[in-house]
A and B are shown apart, each in its own frame.
Chain A
Amino acid sequence: MGTLLRQIIVNCNNLSRLSIQSNLLKNVNSALLPLAVNKRYSNAPTPYEVVDRKSEEKSNQEVINKVNQLVKDEKTLKLFAVVHVAGKQFKITDGDVIVIEGYWPPTVGDKILLEKVLLAGGSDFTFIGRPVVQKGLVRVEATVIEKTVSHTKTHFRKKRRKQYMRINFYRIPHTYLRINRICINGEVNNPPEVRGLETAIF
């Protein structure tokens, strides 16, 4: 019984992983222009196939319902997310500390939400953003715990036999960010009517 159950879970893992993105992310508007499709074509003819929209939608809905049920029953174990912060992407999970290099305005003690979530997942499913997952669906809470500077880095240039030598010292600002919590709010593929206000402060 135990093995059978495990297998079923694995199967639905795969299913949920794959079908969600296609449906879910129709809702995400993207400002990107359509990519040029003129590179690296193969000569093989594109196979034709008949697509049954209804059965397709049904199977997609099944997967989405499964994930929604998992979220509702709080059976999502530890989640991870890939967030885009200050020009870099980080794969994070609860309790992580990430270091952000360079100038970054938040100050010590600030509690912030990281909203550019490119990917989020747990043991049973993954949301893949195109390029970001539906806003407000994944909530990543973080706290700025320390602002400091890196160790002194020496920038030293020298050319042999040319009487050329330059030395310079610099330090980069570092911001330590603690990830407090990653959780899923709301339902998959069911965005609120009015969007963009989840985190607005009035």
Chain B
Amino acid sequence: MVFTTALNFVRSRGPDEFWRKRKIFKLAAHFIGRRRNCYSIAIRNVHRALVYATKGRQLKKEDMANLWETRVRAGCEQHDIPYDTFKEGLTRCDILLNRKVLSELACWEPYTFKALTDVARRRAIDDGLKGATSSNDIDRILTRGSLNKT
């Protein structure tokens, strides 16, 4: 193709206008009102939507992490042990369950979760951590020093 001026060259670049716009309209198909039918408005909103989608993937991970932590906190409250003491106690016992699994256990395996809180509390008492109070229940079951490595 021969271009007499640079302007013509610029205007002729890219795929045909129809196909270029169709790409955007396809993404805007589920929008409401002029956003789906007017190109200049549609492209603005499509760009915004794509940016949100990109950022949203990270946000979803953060939200899930927050949700798990909330659930574990609730479980800890139920068994009367502060969350930080619980995590610290478990870590010191080399129990390396993550928050996702702990939250699932708190929801679906209440006995197991109670056992974990008892282990953490025993360890916290043995190590003299703050926020752990003794109860006869665990004294009967887990004895002093039994959670330390031998």
Choice from B51, B88, B144, B146 contacting A158 with Cβ under 8 Å: B51
Contact with B along A61-72 (1 / 0, CB 8 A): 000000000000
Q: Is the CB of B128 within 8 A of A19?
A: no
Asked if residues A121 and B101 are in contact (CB atoms below 8 Å), the reply is: no
Q: Is the CB of B129 within 8 A of A40?
A: yes
- Given contacts A42-B131, A156-B54, A158-B47, A18 and B141 within 8 Å (CB-CB): yes
Contact present for B105 and A51 (CB under 8 Å):
no
The number of residue pairs between A and B whose CB atoms lie closer than 8 Å in the complex comes to 119
Report whether over half of chain B's contact residues are helix, strand or loop; otherwise say mixed.
Answer: helix
A-B contact pairs, 24 of them (CB 8 A): A14-B141, A18-B115, A18-B138, A21-B119, A35-B92, A37-B127, A40-B84, A40-B130, A42-B130, A46-B126, A46-B128, A51-B145, A82-B97, A82-B105, A89-B98, A89-B101, A118-B95, A119-B97, A119-B101, A128-B116, A156-B47, A156-B50, A157-B51, A157-B54
B66-108 interface code vs A (CB 8 A; 1 in, 0 out) = 0000000000000000001100100111111110110011001
Question: Taking the complex as formed, is B112 at the interface, i.e. its CB lies under 8 A from any CB of chain A?
Answer: yes
Contacts of B127 in A (CB 8 A): 37
- For A37, the chain B residues whose CB sits under 8 A away are 92, 127
Cβ contacts under 8 Å, A46 to chain B: 125-126, 128
Chain B residue nearest to A40 in the complex (CB): B130
The B-contacting residues of A in range 26-59, CB under 8 angstroms, are 26, 30, 32, 34-35, 37, 39-42, 44, 46-47, 49, 51, 56
Cβ A156 vs Cβ B144 within 8 A: no
Main secondary structure of the interface of A (DSSP, over half): mixed
**Which B8-27 residues have C-beta < 8 A from chain A?**
none
Q: How far is it, in angstroms, between the C-alpha of A39 and the C-alpha of B128 when the chains are bound?
A: 10
Residue of A with least CB distance to B126: A46
Interface residues, chain A, CB within 8 Å of chain B? 13-15, 17-19, 21-23, 26, 30, 32, 34-35, 37, 39-42, 44, 46-47, 49, 51, 56, 80, 82, 89-91, 118-119, 121, 126, 128-131, 153-158, 165, 167
A61 to B45, CA, bound (A): 67
Assembly CA distance A144 to B84 (angstroms): 38
**Considering only CB atoms, which chain A residue lies closest to B142 in the complex?**
A18
Partner of A22, one of B84, B131, B142: B142
CA distance A56 to B142 in the complex (A): 9
